[in-house]
Chain A
Amino acid sequence: MANEVLELEDINKFYSGTLHVLKGIELTVREGEFLALMGPSGSGKSTLLNILGCLDKPTSGSYFLGGQDVSTMSDAELSSIRSRYLGFIFQQYNLLPQYTVVENIEVPLIYQGIRLDHTTKKRCEALAELVGLGHRLDHRPMQLSGGQQQRVAIARSLVNRPHLILADEPTGNLDSKTSVEIMVMLARLNQMGKTIVMVTHENDIAGWARRIVRMRDGNIESDEANEPWPLPEGAPELPVHLLEGAA
């Protein structure tokens, strides 16, 4: 049995005292899993993702991330957890407009307190190359297409060698062809051992995951294994040697 990456025990979340958004969630995610979190809006999946991402704290219950209880940590400690153990991929890509591709990938390292130098730069360039943007290192986000921006975001989520990658509707803003490209990339990363939790409301997208958790009204409605879509014919291999050196 692989190690547990995270474990939720009886997580409750109330908003403004009375609104019960998460009702005693129990969830365990192990290393190497690719989990899709599904559910209609208002089901609590975004709140759960925020708690998993250490952006929000549960009202009660325990959240163990890599063995540490993070549910009682201070704001500064949570920031440090985010910078060390988590990678984020957003629907809106959320790149910083004043930075180039490489500089955007570097941002999580800054907040880890790592000194940026030649080595870190090489690593960020390798990550950009991994996601197929080796020729766009000095471009700004505005000069890239949506799919390219999301690939930069994926590279950024890998730079701190995270325990867990959290993806919030990663294809929500992309056309179907680009969506497939992005999902293939996530699937490949998962094959290489990366643990991914992804929120989506599209069955097509959830179908790439190996485990699907459905939520309704703050409860987990179902939690089952899924046979992921086969990778399409001729889907590009990730240059794994880059990842080994870099991520």
Chain B
Amino acid sequence: MDPLSLALIAVLTGAIAFLLTSDKGRRGLELALRSLWLHKLRSFLSMLGIIIGTSAVIILMSFGEGSEKDVLDDIKRLGTTNIIVRSVKPPEDANSNMRQRVATYGLTYDDMELFRTIPAITRMVPMRIFPQETRRGAKGHNSRVVATIPQYAEVNELKPVQGRFLTEDDEALMNNVCVLGSETAKNLFPFEDPIDSSVKLGQFAYVVVGVLADRMPTGGTGGSQAAEDFNHDIYIPLSTSRGRFGDRIMIRAAGSRSMEKVDMHQITITVQDIDKVRPVGTMIREMLADAKRHPRQDWALTVPLDRLELVERTKANIRQSLGIYASISLLVGGIGIMNVMLATVTERTREVGIRRALGAKRSDITFQFLVETMVQTGIGGILGVGFGCSYVFVHALLHSMPQFSFLFQEGSPSPILHLPSITWSLTTAVGVGVIFGIYPAMRAAHMDPIEALRHV
């Protein structure tokens, strides 16, 4: 809990303690509640602005919290100590009017050897990724072949639900084995146990040795980092892919096909600790920027840690704009309450006169009306917090139930209750009561008692 919230809670509990323990405070509170109860509808309507303001703050902050968690989870899935280097197909050369028959680009095994000279790197996982239909008998599945090494499982924290992931032996022996993503397995083996069955990729058959659990897709961040859905993957050893598919890959798309020669589509580099992520990233960037190696920009580098900082910055921006929205709505609410209080003061002129005649000081009258406004905004704040929290809970609940998924846009965040916003909005609401209550209360206190007594 941050110190600001603690301070606000202290002020709030102090005020409540004063109202409840001191005789004057308790009486003021009781009187305020009674007067508000006397005009239930009016009190509720004038509180509405505050209710909407506080609940809006809580709901918006909770959505902010939820989407932030989504992004953070995403970054964690990519790994904060990881650097991801990808091959990018450069645009066709403008001056060649003939299309190259085989597009050659991207990261090479040489690049990888060069990266090995950086001591801070603890692990490198190369990947070749290409679309290829997986067949099993008459069934086919448009899957994505990922040829990689066993460490891939460590980097991505994968756990097979059945069988095992690829092993060093598979890699060394170029075994014809594969591990299926959950969707691939479901499509090809709707009823049977896939383990030890075989599937066909191109002309060759592979033995299924494992099936992976469902994986959350990563969101695309634009640029080089596209959104990925891992559940349609099929994993085979990297050495096997080089042996079976060769260096050239044929990509069939609707009505066309193209060839490309790419050593590796992606290398996920793990750095030993988080402080070294950026320097290593810079070194790799410099290595790849060497014009002799890559005359064209056919690579891209992603540092998830950078996104983490982006999130922090965005968070601060969101907080600020939410603060502005919230202050506007609470300001409007406060003006509404002030308006009603001014009317109330006029309506109760006679009451003020009676109290003054019976010995009330100006400060007593100020206190009475001020407490009334504060109670009003306080109750409004509590109702707003109640409404905001219930909305967040209901939304999150519905969001988590698959049968209500039609209510939400794909990938929309689920809100997570943002606790500090409860104390902020409550104290702000009461503060609004003080600020907007002072003027009507002073006006009541400064009425001439004789005039006030004559008031009908």
Q: Which residues of A contact B (CB under 8 A)?
A: 50, 53, 55-56, 75-76, 79-80, 82-84, 88, 90, 94-96, 98, 107-108, 110-112, 115-116, 156, 160
Contact A88 B357, CB 8 Å, known A55-B450, A98-B38: yes
15 extra A-B contacts, CB within 8 A, seeds A111-B359, A111-B360? A50-B450, A55-B356, A55-B449, A55-B450, A75-B361, A76-B362, A79-B359, A82-B358, A82-B359, A83-B360, A90-B453, A94-B353, A107-B358, A111-B364, A160-B359
B448 to chain A, nearest CB (A): 9
Which residues on the A side are within 8 Å of B410 (C-beta)?
none
Choose among B35, B350, B356, B359 the residue that contacts A80 (Cβ–Cβ < 8 A).
B359
Give the CA-CA distance A83 to B357 in the complex, in Å: 8
Contact B357 A53 (CB under 8 A): yes
Give the CA-CA distance A116 to B450 in the complex, in Å: 28
- Asked if B186 CB lies within 8 Å of chain A CBs, one says no
Which residues on the B side are within 8 Å of A95 (C-beta)?
354
Give the CA-CA distance A243 to B357 in the complex, in Å: 23
5 A-B pairs with least C-beta separation: A83-B359, A111-B359, A79-B361, A82-B359, A94-B354
- Asked if B77 CB lies within 8 Å of chain A CBs, one says no
* CB within 8 Å of A: which B1-50 residues: 23, 27, 31, 34-35, 38
- Asked if B363 CB lies within 8 Å of chain A CBs, one says yes
Q: Chain B: which residue is nearest A95 at the CB level?
A: B354
Contact A107 B355, CB 8 Å, known A55-B450, A90-B453: yes
Choose among A56, A76, A94, A107 the residue that contacts B361 (Cβ–Cβ < 8 A).
A76
Contact string against A for B residues 332-363, beta-carbon threshold 8 Å, 1 for contact and 0 otherwise = 00000000000000000011011111111111
Q: Chain A: which residue is nearest B359 at the CB level?
A: A83
Give the CA-CA distance A53 to B361 in the complex, in Å: 15
Contact B23 A116 (CB under 8 A): yes
Contact A112 B359 (CB under 8 A): yes
Give the CA-CA distance A50 to B350 in the complex, in Å: 16
Interface centre among A83, A110, A116 (most CB of B within 10 A): A110
Give the CA-CA distance A84 to B359 in the complex, in Å: 8
B202 to chain A, nearest CB (A): 88
Interface centre among A88, A95, A160 (most CB of B within 10 A): A88
Give the CA-CA distance A115 to B355 in the complex, in Å: 17
Give 16 A-B contacts (CB < 8 Å), ordered by A residue: A53-B357, A55-B357, A56-B450, A79-B359, A79-B360, A80-B359, A80-B361, A83-B359, A88-B357, A96-B351, A96-B354, A98-B38, A108-B359, A111-B361, A116-B23, A116-B27
Give the CA-CA distance A112 to B359 in the complex, in Å: 7
Contact A82 B357 (CB under 8 A): yes
Number of interface residues of B (CB under 8 A): 23
Q: Chain B: which residue is nearest A50 at the CB level?
A: B450
Give the CA-CA distance A71 to B208 in the complex, in Å: 105
Which residues on the B side are within 8 Å of A75 (C-beta)?
361-362
Give the CA-CA distance A96 to B27 in the complex, in Å: 15
Contact string against A for B residues 422-456, beta-carbon threshold 8 Å, 1 for contact and 0 otherwise = 00000000000000000000000000011001000
Contact B450 A83 (CB under 8 A): no
Contact B358 A88 (CB under 8 A): yes
Contact A110 B362 (CB under 8 A): no
B360 to chain A, nearest CB (A): 5
Choose among A50, A56, A83, A98 the residue that contacts B358 (Cβ–Cβ < 8 A).
A83
Q: Chain B: which residue is nearest A82 at the CB level?
A: B359
A24 to chain B, nearest CB (A): 22
A154 to chain B, nearest CB (A): 14
Q: Chain B: which residue is nearest A108 at the CB level?
A: B358
Which residues on the A side are within 8 Å of B356 (C-beta)?
55, 79
B453 to chain A, nearest CB (A): 7
Give the CA-CA distance A26 to B352 in the complex, in Å: 31
B412 to chain A, nearest CB (A): 49
Q: Chain B: which residue is nearest A94 at the CB level?
A: B354
Which residues on the B side are within 8 Å of A88 (C-beta)?
357-358
A69 to chain B, nearest CB (A): 19
A167 to chain B, nearest CB (A): 13
Q: Chain B: which residue is nearest A113 at the CB level?
A: B24
Give the CA-CA distance A83 to B31 in the complex, in Å: 19
Contact B355 A98 (CB under 8 A): no
B364 to chain A, nearest CB (A): 6
Which residues on the B side are within 8 Å of A115 (C-beta)?
23
Which residues on the A side are within 8 Å of B31 (C-beta)?
98
A197 to chain B, nearest CB (A): 15
A120 to chain B, nearest CB (A): 11
A149 to chain B, nearest CB (A): 13
A73 to chain B, nearest CB (A): 12
Q: Chain B: which residue is nearest A46 at the CB level?
A: B450
Contact string against A for B residues 189-229, beta-carbon threshold 8 Å, 1 for contact and 0 otherwise = 00000000000000000000000000000000000000000
Which residues on the A side are within 8 Å of B357 (C-beta)?
53, 55, 82, 88, 94
Contact B363 A76 (CB under 8 A): yes
Contact B350 A94 (CB under 8 A): yes
Give the CA-CA distance A90 to B358 in the complex, in Å: 11
Give the CA-CA distance A80 to B35 in the complex, in Å: 25
Which residues on the A side are within 8 Å of B361 (C-beta)?
75-76, 79-80, 111
Q: Chain B: which residue is nearest A112 at the CB level?
A: B359
Q: Chain A: which residue is nearest B452 at the CB level?
A: A55
Give the CA-CA distance A110 to B27 in the complex, in Å: 9
Which residues on the A side are within 8 Å of B359 (C-beta)?
79-80, 82-84, 108, 111-112, 160
B354 to chain A, nearest CB (A): 5
Q: Chain B: which residue is nearest A76 at the CB level?
A: B361
Contact A98 B35 (CB under 8 A): yes
Q: Chain B: which residue is nearest A111 at the CB level?
A: B359
Contact B34 A98 (CB under 8 A): yes
